[in-house]
Amino acid sequence: MKIDLIDICIIIAYFVLVIVIGFLVSRRRIKDINSYFLSSNSLPWWMLGVSNASGMFDITGTMWLVYVLFVYGLKSVWLPWVWPVFNQVFLMVYLSIWLRRSKVMTGAEWIKTRFGTSTGAQLAHIIVVIFALVSVIGFLAYGFQGIGKFAKIFLPWDWSPNTYAVILMSFTAIYAVKGGMMSVVITEFLQFIVLTIAALAVGIIAMNAVTPEMLNAVIPAGWKDIFFGWNLNLNWTGIIDAVNTKIQSDGYSLFSIFFMLMVFKGVLVSAAGPAPNYDMQRVLATRSPKDASKMSFFVNVALFFPRYMMIAGLTVLALAFFSPQLKAMGPGIDFEMVLPYALKNLIPVGWVGLILAGLIAAFMSNYAATINAAPAYIVNDIYKRFINPNDHPGKYVRMSYIASIVFVLLGFGVGLIVGSINEVMLWIVNALFPGYTAANVLKWYWWRLNGYGYFWGMVAGIGSAFVIAAFIPSVAALSAFPYVLGVSLVGCVAGSYLTDPEPDDVLIDFYTRVKPWGFWGPVLAKVRLRHPDFQPNKNFRRDMFNVVIGTAWQTTLVALPIFIVIHETTSMLVTLGVLVATSVILKFNWWNKLNEISDVDDEIAARGDVRANPAVPPTPAGAR
């Protein structure tokens, strides 16, 4: 794709600005690994929220969302639940608070808070480290493939995708490795501003270029309906016949069944908490549990509205002006051509450069956040814990630099080996993450899960997911999820009941520090022997109500920009009304209640380490 000189200058200026700012920030003195990986818990919650949102605004995911909006219309609002996107609602309502109270640096270090230092806890710790490192390498390879192919299409120089990927990833690594989290967050803040301007520009251009009559002429009946029946009921015959084949191959025709599976999987994955990646790191980097909750709230606000302005704008432009070309492609229809066509033919000069800079910024944000999250597991969870726990703080920082560079090179290597973006993403989604769910749900809500149960649940889940992906590839990831979950649950329960519970002191310390609700009755009884005035967490009903309201609130943030871009005034006003109503409910039933969080944390701090108190009687055999 050939772009004008002014657009090239904008892109180059953006690169120079980001790298200079990132390098200037990176020159500040880093005292220890806490300041390197968590910026000494000094950053405000809203800035971490913007940083997290910027890291989630990836190029390849955005293009997938353009595809599903093109094909499925407003019903595509529900499709991101397969990831699931409403995990941020669970985090904002209660899980960020629980996670931040652990006062740790990584997800693997959190395992010590939950399971202690027994042999089973060590195994659980190791499996989380392995999971985190493997998933990080997978996401780096995914980014390598994605940015290389994106740059090959849009940038004017005749280089290979791999050459583009190495150059762009190396530029990003300069400040991400040197400056740690502070450098990453500051540059992501700048990148988010560019992204937001670009996204709003695309949406406004589409609103001005495409009238409702033009859109109605190129979409099937029901495309603008957000709700659905048993079947999808979208028929593209006579418009773009090949789209019907895409719907059939996606397996979404029986939409109600698909939706129920999405909700089932989404609730469980969300209840498990964040995977050990940059999302978890942003939670752990906040100043307090209260701020952790606010940070997760702000991710929803910052991410969904601007992102869907861009998605809706690109989709509407493609429907109005690119449908004849897509129709001419026949069965080999290629939706990856939507963005190049829109930028080349429908976006004014100058805006093209800004939009490309914004999309590249999305990649850089995601990649920099991943680089910064990975080395903590090497330095903090392997070297510091098992090899030299008393080394000089500066030595840990230098090792963090080295570990970051190693991961950058590993990302290059795996990215060069794999054949496609889809190959990497299918491996991550189908084989890696489904096996994570059961053990990480039970760790929060069931006292009897021990380190052995966690370890064998993870091994059984990930192993079964790999077997299904390798030997029964025709089974979709969503359809395989219940089977993977069942095998993983067996591993969790068998591993826990065939071994002893974790020591009382460990369970009591975790329960009184984190204060989860769930099945903690035996532990609560022991806590009250030490602290008769202890009050358990009784907010289950309120939290679940807020999750439901929060999910509806988040969905309006997705649907509202689409209705704005397609000029659906009535639907827009109804959606806006739901947004206002759910926002008011959350203000009184969630935001205002965060003051109670501060009171609870003050109480926890005043109580101190419960393990310093006299031991209570051991767990009776019958309770095992």
pLDDT single digits (tens) 69-112: 999 999 999 988 877 889 999 999 999 999 999 888 888 888 89
Q: Going by C-beta distance under 8 Å and a sequence separation of 6 or more, which residues neighbour residue 82?
A: 262, 265, 266, 478
DSSP symbols for 106-166: SHHHHHHHHHTTSHHHHHHHHHHHHHHHHHHHHHHHHHHHHHHHHHHHHSSS---HHHHHH
- Give me the amino acid identity at 276: P
Percent of the chain with pLDDT over 70: 92
Q: Rounded to an integer, what distance in angstroms lies between the CA atom of residue 94 and that of residue 98?
A: 7
In a domain, 452, yes or no: yes
Q: How does residue 347 score in pLDDT terms, banded at 50, 70 and 90?
A: confident
Question: Are 174 and 267 members of one domain?
Answer: yes
168 plus 298 within the same structural domain: yes
- Whether residue 515 lies inside any domain: the answer is no
Q: What angle do the packed helices 255-271 and 477-497 form, to 10 degrees?
A: 40
Residues 165 and 279 in one domain: yes
CATH (domain of 223):
1.20.1730.10
Is pLDDT above 60 for 608? no
How many domains does the chain divide into?
2
- The backbone region for 537, taken as left when phi is positive above 0, alpha when psi lies in -120 to 50, beta otherwise, is beta
Q: Which of 31-40, 265-274, 515-524 has the highest mean pLDDT?
A: 515-524
Same domain, 461 and 346: no
Q: Identify whether residues 382 and 495 lie together within a single domain.
A: no
Q: Two tokens at 487?
A: 């095998």
Region of poorest pLDDT, from 47-61, 308-322, 577-591: 47-61
Q: Note whether 396 and 492 are same-domain residues.
A: no
Residues 175 and 197 in one domain: yes
pLDDT for the residue 611: 45
Q: Do 410 and 437 sit in the same domain of this protein?
A: no
Contact 151, 164 (CB under 8 A): yes
Q: Given a cut of 90, is residue 479 above it in pLDDT?
A: no
Asked whether residue 517 is domain-assigned, the answer is: no
Among 465, 481, 502, residue at a domain's last position: 502
Question: Of 487, 502, 517, which marks where a domain is finished?
Answer: 502
Q: Does 166 lie in the same domain as 95?
A: yes
**Residue in the block written with tokens 């009946």:** 221
Alpha-carbon 20 to chain mean position: 28
Give domain status of residue 597, yes or no: no
Same domain? 111 vs 212? yes
Residues 114 and 49 in one domain: yes
By C-alpha distance, which of 81, 494, 52 is closest to 268?
Answer: 81
- Write down the pTM of the prediction: 0.87
Same domain flag for 368 and 220: yes
Range of the domain at 492: 433-502
Residue ending a domain, among 502, 530, 562, is 502
Task: Tell me: pLDDT of 119 over 90.
Answer: yes
Domain assignment of residue 54, yes or no: yes
Residue 607 lies in a domain: no
Residue 528's pLDDT band (cuts 50, 70, 90): very high
Mean pLDDT of 521-535: 93
**Residue 407 within a domain:** yes
Is 159 a domain residue?
yes
In this prediction, residue 606 carries a pLDDT of 56
